């Protein structure tokens, strides 16, 4: 595989892992008769959850577009994707850590460091 293909595969795996983390977060927050005061009852937390879902969905869409682009034209879509992943990881890690604790997102912090090393500093 080319470097770009390797990178895309890595980002796809990261998005899969983030999707699992988001699903787990939503389950943890779920309100039901046995847990009427669960975290999901907070409208403020739901705003953060929505932002995390949006970040993930946008990154997934950009990944699909980058994957569909001819190899020679993948450079720019990859820059767009890295930025979306960095922003999404940062915001999602902060929001989950704020409700469930830092230990749940330690892997996201490491992924963030790795992503920052891939691109120009901002």
Partner 1 sequence: MSAAPFDLVEWERFCGAVVRPAARAADEQQCVGDAVWNGLRERGYLQLFHPPSSELIYPAMAALAGACGATFWKATLSAALAAQMIATLGGAAAQTRWLSGIASGRQLGAFAATEAGSGSDPSSYAARLRRVGARWLLSGEKDRIANAGDAQVAAVLCQAENEGGEPLGLALAFVDLDDARITRTRRRTLGLRGMTFGRLAFDGVALDDSDVTLGVTMPRILTIVEWGQVVQILCAVGLGRAALAEAEAFLSERRSFGRPLAAHPWVRAQLDAAGLDLDAAESIARRAVAAKIAGQVAGEQIVIAKIFCTEAGLSACQIALRVCGGWGYTSELAVERLLRDAHGNVPAGLPNDRLRDLLVAARVGVDPWAVGP
- Where on the chain is the footprint of partner 1 (CB under 8 A)? 26, 29-32, 38-41, 43, 46-47, 49-51, 53-54, 57-58, 61-62, 65, 76-77, 79-80, 83-84, 122
Report the residue number, 1 or 98, with the smaller CB distance to partner 1.
98
Report the residue number, 51 or 90, with the smaller CB distance to partner 1.
51
Minimal distance in Å, beta carbon 74 to partner 1?
Answer: 13
Containing 28, the helix (H) or strand (E) segment is: helix 3-29
Alpha-carbon distances of 80 from 30, 104, 106, rounded to whole Å: 33, 27, 24
- DSSP class of residue 40 equals G
Report the residue number, 46 or 109, with the smaller CB distance to partner 1.
46
Report the residue number, 61 or 106, with the smaller CB distance to partner 1.
61
32 in helix, strand or coil? strand
Minimal distance in Å, beta carbon 63 to partner 1?
Answer: 9
- DSSP class of residue 74 equals -
CA distance 38 to 107: 25
């Amino acid at each position: 595989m080319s470097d770009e293909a390797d990178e895309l595969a890595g980002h796809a795996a990261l998005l899969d892992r983030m999707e699992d983390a988001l699903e787990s977060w939503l389950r943890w927050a779920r309100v039901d008769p046995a847990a009427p005061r669960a975290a999901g009852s907070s409208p403020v937390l739901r705003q953060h959850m929505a932002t995390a879902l949006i970040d993930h969905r946008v990154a997934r869409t950009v990944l699909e577009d980058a994957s569909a682009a001819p190899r020679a034209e993948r450079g720019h879509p990859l820059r767009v994707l890295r930025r979306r992943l960095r922003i999404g990881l940062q915001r999602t890690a902060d929001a989950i850590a704020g409700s469930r604790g830092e230990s749940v997102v330690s892997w996201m912090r490491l992924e963030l460091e790795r992503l920052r090393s891939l691109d120009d500093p901002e």
